[in-house]
Amino acid sequence: MQSPFVYLDNNATTAVDDRVLETMLPYFKYQYANPNSPHLFGMQVQEQIEFAQQDLAHLVGCRPADLIFTSGATEAINLAIKGIQNKGRKHIVCASTEHEAVLDCCRFLENKDYDVTYLPVSADGLIDPDVLQASIHAETLLVCIMLVNNETGVIQDIQTIADIVHKTGAWLLCDATQAVGKIPIAVKKMGIDLMPLSAHKFYGPKGIGALYINPDVENLSPLLHGGKQQNGVRSGTLNVPGIIALGKAAEIAEKEMATETQRVRSLRDHLETSLLKIDAVFLHGHLEKRIHNTTNLCFPGVQSQQLLLALGNIAVSSGSACSSITNRPSHVLKAMGLADTYSLSAIRFSLGRFTTADEIDYTIEMVEKIVKKLRQ
pLDDT at 250 over 90: yes
Task: Please give the C-alpha separations between residue 103 and each of 5, 81, 189, in angstroms, as whole numbers.
Answer: 34, 10, 26
Model confidence pLDDT, tens digit, residues 2-48: 457 999 999 999 999 999 999 999 999 999 999 999 999 999 999 99
Give the Cα separation of 370 and 310 in Å (integer). Answer: 7
Give the Cα separation of 359 and 354 in Å (integer). Answer: 10
AA letter at 298: C
pLDDT at 303 over 50: yes
SS3 at position 67: strand
Give the Cα separation of 186 and 173 in Å (integer). Answer: 14
Model confidence pLDDT, tens digit, residues 99-119: 999 999 999 999 999 999 999
pTM: 0.95
Question: How many Cβ atoms from other residues are within 10 Å of residue 18's Cβ?
Answer: 9
Question: How many Cβ atoms from other residues are within 10 Å of residue 215's Cβ?
Answer: 9
Long-range residue pairs from 3-6, CB within 8 A, at least 24 positions apart, any chain: 3/313, 3/358, 3/359, 3/362, 4/313, 5/313, 5/315, 6/313, 6/314, 6/315, 6/359, 6/362, 6/363
Give the Cα separation of 202 and 209 in Å (integer). Answer: 11
* Residue 261 C-alpha from the chain's centroid: 17
pLDDT-based confidence at 86, cuts 50/70/90?
Answer: confident
Residue 1 confidence (pLDDT):
45
Whole-number CA gyration radius for the chain: 21
Give the Cα separation of 263 and 90 in Å (integer). Answer: 45
Active-site residue, selected from the candidate residues 94, 174, 298, 322: 322
- Average pLDDT score over residue span 308-323: 83
- Average pLDDT score over residue span 257-261: 98
The residues of the chain that CATH labels 3.40.640.10 are 18-251
Class of 6-15+257-375 per CATH? alpha beta
Do 333 and 284 contact (CB within 8 A), yes or no?
A: yes
pLDDT at 315 over 90: yes
Backbone phi, psi, residue 252, to 5°: -65, -45
Give the Cα separation of 310 and 308 in Å (integer). Answer: 6
Q: What is the DSSP letter of 317?
A: B
Do 27 and 240 contact (CB within 8 A), yes or no?
A: yes
What is the side-by-side order of every strand in the sheet holding 209-213?
A: 67-70, 209-213, 194-198, 171-173, 140-144, 91-95, 115-119
pLDDT at 323 over 70: no
Residue 266 confidence (pLDDT):
98
Residue 3 confidence (pLDDT):
53
Class of 18-251 per CATH? alpha beta
What DSSP assignment string belongs to 147-204?
A: SB-TTT-BB--HHHHHHHHHTTT-EEE---TTTTTTS---HHHHT-SEEEEEGGGTTS
Instruction: Note if 322 is an active site residue.
Output: yes
Model confidence pLDDT, tens digit, residues 44-85: 999 999 999 999 999 999 999 999 999 999 999 999 999 998
∠ CA 100-104-108, rounded to 5°: 175
The residues of the chain that CATH labels 3.90.1150.10 are 6-15+257-375
